[in-house]
Amino acid sequence: MIIRKKYRIEMGHIVRNCSSSRCAHSQHGHSAIIEVLLSGSKLDNAGMLYDFGLMKGSVKQFIDAFDHCYVFWDEDDKEFIEYIKKYNERWISLPFNPTAEMLSLMFMNAINRIIANTNKLNGEANDLMCCGVIYHETESGYAQCSLEDNKTMWNYTNLDNMQFSGSLIEDLWLGNTDQLVWDTKKFDPEYKPFDQVHADACGLDRK
């Protein structure tokens, strides 16, 4: 069984080294549609594979961090990176070139990290997972990935190397992540959500 949930974000980037000069050398944005595909071998106690409502405080929260955000490759020109950080409240540093292909892989792996750290309380399948993501960069063009693509296209990239701006950190901490169980780490200005537990659960003060 496979279910699908769609999300929409508005996001800016540059795609270095690509064939199109416009994309490689000019900042630009996209109205992206992100389709998240979940699979599992059995239905829960309500006859659902997974309740879409449970994705609002975890998967949606993570994807929403990319909305009205500028993303960049952490190997880009240092002066350019400092410019982006200086003049944008919402930015995300990525350990890969932000192509539609790599973003689809990133979202699939990030969502699986979230699912793996989520308490399953209603008889959900033990093998519940994000089996793929379709990242619609434009109305006519998209990239679609599956778990099989991890073997050759993703294993050199580490999710924990992603960095989020201060305003995004605040958004991620304030969101409803009660269903998530993160490894406890002390609050750090270079906070990465995959390593953090919700502030209230830890009894930490938000900065």
Catalytic residue among 23, 30, 35, 202: 23
| Beta-strand relationship, 69-73 and 91-94 | parallel
Q: Per the residue annotation, which of 35, 68, 170, 202 is the catalytic one?
A: 68
| HEC sequence for 17-63 | CCCCHHHHHCCEEEEEEEEEEEECCCCCCCCCCCCHHHHCCCHHHHH
3-state DSSP call for residue 11? strand
Q: Based on the residue annotation, tell me whether 190 is a catalytic residue of this protein.
A: no
Q: In what order do the strands lie in the sheet with 28-39?
A: 142-146, 129-136, 28-39, 2-13, 69-73, 91-94, 163-164
Q: What are phi and psi of 170, to 5 degrees?
A: -60, -45
Q: Name the active-site residue from 124, 137, 145, 198.
A: 137
Cα-flanking dihedrals φ and ψ of residue 176, to 5°? Answer: -85, 90
The Cα–Cα gap between 55 and 6 comes to 11
State yes or no: is 68 an active-site residue. yes
Residues forming the active site: 23, 68, 137
